[in-house]
Chains A and B, each alone.
Chain A
Amino acid sequence: AQKVTQAQTEISVVEKEDVTLDCVYETRDTTYYLFWYKQPPSGELVFLIRRNSFDEQNEISGRYSWNFQKSTSSFNFTITASQVVDSAVYFCALSVMTTDSWGKFQFGAGTQVVVTP
């Protein structure tokens, strides 16, 4: 069985501070994908990034960066110089690459990020 843990329920920061969201996952499968989604106050779910289990390279996209470490089963997400528009719930998700499991995403509980001016 797969499991995704986002231990941080809510993080509050002041604008321009950095914020790191933790994601720890569990799976016995060796081939899997990890995702981050953003859910702004309007409610839609916005895809941010996918990382596969064979690619441990960190990634930076603008103010966003992701740190994938298989040794600790973690896929953490950092927002640098946060802005009010970053206020949202962020979900980490896992999907294993087996025929019957592919697409059955396991989501974490989500972390609410509140950025105040």
Chain B
Amino acid sequence: DADVTQTPRNRITKTGKRIMLECSQTKGHDRMYWYRQDPGLGLRLIYYSFDVKDINKGEISDGYSVSRQAQAKFSLSLESAIPNQTALYFCATSDLKIRDGNTGELFFGEGSRLTVL
């Protein structure tokens, strides 16, 4: 089983609908992130959370909201989806504890492809 799981993997919806993308992790990491990937733009940070009580906006947070329900769960919501939110969304986790010898890398889920018609 994947360490970082995203649901749904694919979703087609209509303009104006509310959509929630869910992410859960079994890595025990405190830090969780939502990124959006668009062709030619790389990955851009939407929101991030360093612990359950900490939520921060990334560079493209407008039109999105998040909820950190538990250490292991971080959900992304589009309150009223619009076509330019059509993209591939990635949840990721990281462990700050560099002192423990970890690489500090981001661990990604498999992605959620969202299409807004």
Q: Does B40 lie within 8 Å of A50, measured CB to CB?
A: no
A108, closest chain B residue (CB): B42
Q: Does B108 lie within 8 Å of A44, measured CB to CB?
A: yes
B40, closest chain A residue (CB): A109
Minimum Cβ distance to chain B for residue A101 (Å): 10
A45 interface residue per 8 A CB criterion? yes
* Chain B residues with CB below 8 A from A9, complex form: 40
Q: Does A102 lie within 8 Å of B43, measured CB to CB?
A: no
B28 interface residue per 8 A CB criterion? no
CA distance A93 to B33 in the complex (A): 15
* Chain A residues with CB below 8 A from B35, complex form: 107
Chain B binding surface, main DSSP class:
strand
Q: Does B103 lie within 8 Å of A47, measured CB to CB?
A: yes
B98, closest chain A residue (CB): A97
B45, closest chain A residue (CB): A104
CA distance A9 to B42 in the complex (A): 11
Minimum Cβ distance to chain B for residue A103 (Å): 5
B87 interface residue per 8 A CB criterion? no
Residues of chain A from 1 to 15 with CB closer than 8 A to chain B in the complex: 4, 6, 9
Minimum Cβ distance to chain A for residue B35 (Å): 8
CA distance A4 to B42 in the complex (A): 10
B58, closest chain A residue (CB): A104
A residues touching B (Cβ–Cβ < 8 Å)? Answer: 4, 6, 9, 33, 35, 43-45, 47, 50, 91, 93, 95, 102-105, 107-110
27 contacts between A and B (CB under 8 A): A4-B42, A6-B42, A33-B104, A43-B88, A43-B110, A43-B113, A44-B108, A44-B110, A45-B106, A47-B103, A47-B107, A50-B103, A50-B105, A93-B43, A93-B106, A102-B104, A103-B31, A103-B33, A103-B48, A104-B45, A104-B48, A105-B106, A107-B35, A107-B42, A109-B40, A109-B41, A109-B42
B residues touching A (Cβ–Cβ < 8 Å)? Answer: 31, 33, 35, 40-45, 48, 50, 58, 88, 90, 94, 96, 103-108, 110-111, 113
